[in-house]
A and B are shown apart, each in its own frame.
Chain A
């Protein structure tokens, strides 16, 4: 089945700096890659996703890039703000018919004011 690895596990940046989180996946047939943000004590929420027919997608200060050859995708956050502090999870389709998701282990991002 699909295996997703996420790095780093923790990331501390100064406000205004950029942050990059990387995930690798094992199933070359996977073609949908979402990123979820989970604030402390809250539920995970989708912040951006990408499909395999594009290499990059942007939404204001966040972007996701996909390298299908290397089987990795990355989340980029520019001009970080304290409210970006949270745990970020990547995911990829899993299970029969790829009707479920398997999640990475998460990255705790701390933005220092």
Chain B
């Protein structure tokens, strides 16, 4: 299994541009998550999904959108990028069911908005 994969690894955006961060998992996990990690800071939940067609907002959803059309993919869309969105973005997944399952993280996407 490749686990959780994310593309791209790095990206530089100009203010006002848009982009989609890709996340795919091959573990047949129903639950998927997007986090952002600002330099020297903790992980903040942006959006999460408990299955195809279902998404919920986390702590910091403003400026982002998500969709979940398949179990494997959970893309994160940035519209009108702003410098405040400069961060490292991590996708994670875990099996459905009880809430005490381990979350498996992808390698991250480092985004810079200038």
Count of A-B residue pairs with CB < 8 Å:
52
Interface residues of B toward A: which range? 20 to 34
On chain B, the residues within 8 Å of A51 by CB distance are 100
Verify B105–A43 contact, CB threshold 8 A: yes
Q: When chains A and B are docked, how far (Å) is the Cα of A99 from the Cα of B94?
A: 10
Contact, CB under 8 Å: B105 / A44: yes
**B107 beta carbon closer than 8 Å to chain A:** yes
CB distance from A92 to the nearest CB of B (A): 10
Per a CB cutoff under 8 Å, which of B42, B48, B107, B108 touches A95? Answer: B48
Report chain B residues within 8 Å CB of A104: 42
- Which residue of chain B lies nearest to A89 when distances are taken between CB atoms in the complex? B42
A46 & B102 in contact (Cβ 8 Å cutoff): yes
- Main secondary structure on A side of the interface with B: strand
Binary contact track B41-77/A, C-beta < 8 Å → 1, others 0: 1111100101000001011000000000000000000
Contact indicator A89/B90 (Cβ below 8 Å): no
A113 within 8 A of B: no
Indicate whether A46 sits within 8 Å of B103 (C-beta atoms), given known contacts A95-B56, A95-B58.
Answer: yes
B99 close to A43 (CB less than 8 A): no
Contacts of B102 in A (CB 8 A): 34, 46, 49
Q: A43-B90, A95-B56, A103-B44 are in contact. List 10 more A-B contacts (CB 8 A).
A: A32-B99, A43-B108, A46-B103, A95-B58, A100-B33, A100-B45, A101-B45, A103-B42, A104-B42, A105-B42
Which residues of B are at the interface with A, using a C-beta cutoff of 8 A? 31, 33, 41-45, 48, 50, 56, 58-59, 90, 99-100, 102-103, 105-108
